[in-house]
Amino acid sequence: MVGMSDGAPEGMMRAMRLVDPLPATERPLQLVELPIPSPGPGEVLIRVEACGVCHTDLHTVEGDLDPHRESVIPGHQIVGEIAAFGDWPGGDRPDYPAADGRPLELGERVGVPWLWRTDGQCRFCRRGQENLCEHALFTGYDVDGGYAEYHVASAPFVYRLPSVDAEGHPIPATSLAPLLCAGVIGYRCLRLAGVVGDDHGLPGRPAPFEPGDEPVPRPSAFGAARARPSMRVARLRSVAGAIREVGGSPSAGGPLDMVDGILAEELDEPAGRLGLFGFGAAAHLCLQIAVSRGWQVYVFTRSEEHRRLARELGAVWAGASGQRPGAPAEAARQTPGQLSLNGRDDAMRAAAAGDETWLDAAIVFAPAGELALEALKVVDKAGIVALGGIHSSPIPPIDYPVIYDERVLRSVANSTRRDAIELLRTAAAIPVRTEVETFPLEQANDVLIALKESRIRGAAVLQIG
């Protein structure tokens, strides 16, 4: 039973705790009762409504990631309400600003992702790469996470979340939880693959993050040449609108007809072609964002159920790894093979004749190293392959011709506050649809098993409060 004091709630809470990493099938999480934690200076106590279940949780539970403490409560896609603020030493507590720089208030709905806190001082934080902080702490790994009724968070790494949509309808906490890791890390993958952001996916050093200075996300695409069509479309639409305001073209072949014709041609050309390898929580959100930016999306996954969902969400094609993008649907139901170097040479000759589809970028979410090689074989010259997992099986040797012609293979590590803020704004603007399956807290072991066996459609979420 929880009692209320002048500050934080007192009493006990339920939680699913990991003591010894074991295979998920051995049900390593234990349902326990623990004292409600107390927030310290600069921290807030959150009453948890829901927490997403992520492949990183699975890697933590099974010991794929080296343990950072003797026991831990997993979970880093937390949605809840501010229940209390930590005391400030020596007197009155100052305002506790969230990641957006505005002070938090009691009862406000917020979210907590994987990045719990950084030191703000290391060379990576100073140059705007806080996702690579040398002393970062991660939610559900270095500190207790959201598989519990309460969670203590670091205020500057907390994000405001809406309680109602644009039409005033309540937004379930379970539909927001996947955005906080699947969405955020997916968005960073899109950034590093050149689908969103201004750096076209190339390595660089952004300016240090300052709360409140994050840019409003705007469409961008693969490379300068790929970014140009979307900007031209916007300008052409403006011109067409201005012509119509003054009465339009008086005769066929006039300026309005010319602009409309050019606009139709531009809209026929996609901003780019993106491949997604593996289709779980992150991929189903990435797909929607990429489609909203004018990209054609090709999904490679073993599950026929996942292929159906991908097509439902806007993928132009869904098949198996080892297939050429756009291969006939019947071939997708056959046992996939691996593209050989000779097969790639044949495909390149076919592409020169206009008979093959090549991808401008690809993101690998499945933790299978061989898929990095498969993705490289279907991206075009200068294409980028981003690896979105925190853990993977070994990557096979790469023959040099596969990566030649300035193809890029890069990993994606964690995310920044800018990534999170931009993702949440983008998701609301599209709006992104989160496909979720919900479960009670005590079924966390069952959910991890289902996740491991690819039996989750979209994202899995624990409904707690």
For residue 1, pLDDT beyond 60? no
Tens digit of each residue's pLDDT (9 = 90 or more) over 308-334: 999 999 999 999 988 999 988 554 444
Fold of 3-180+435-463: Quinone Oxidoreductase; Chain A, domain 1 (3.90.180)
Question: Ranked by mean pLDDT, which of 188-202, 208-222, 253-267, 449-463 comes out on top?
Answer: 449-463
- DSSP conformation letters of 110-145: EEE-SEEE--S-SHHHHTT-GGG-TT-EEBTTTB--
382 secondary structure, DSSP code: E
Tens digit of each residue's pLDDT (9 = 90 or more) over 37-54: 999 999 999 999 999 999
Domain ranges of the chain: 3-180+435-463, 223-267, 271-411
> What percent of the residues of the chain are helix, what percent strand, and what percent coil, each to the nearest 5?
30, 25, 45
Looking at residue 3, its pLDDT comes to 39
Fold of 271-411: Rossmann fold (3.40.50)
Q: Give percent above pLDDT 70 in the chain.
A: 77
Taking CA 290 as the corner, what is the angle to CA 273 and CA 450, rounded to the nearest 5 degrees?
Answer: 105
Looking at residue 91, its pLDDT comes to 64
Which secondary-structure segment (H or E) carries 461?
Answer: strand 459-463
Tens digit of each residue's pLDDT (9 = 90 or more) over 375-429: 999 999 999 999 999 999 999 999 999 999 999 999 999 999 999 999 999 999 9
Taking residues 253-281, report their average pLDDT. 71
Beta pairing, strands 272-277 & 359-364:
parallel
> Is 271-411 the same fold as 3-180+435-463?
no
- Cα distance between residue 344 and residue 348, in whole Å: 6
> Between 445 and 207, whose confidence is greater?
445
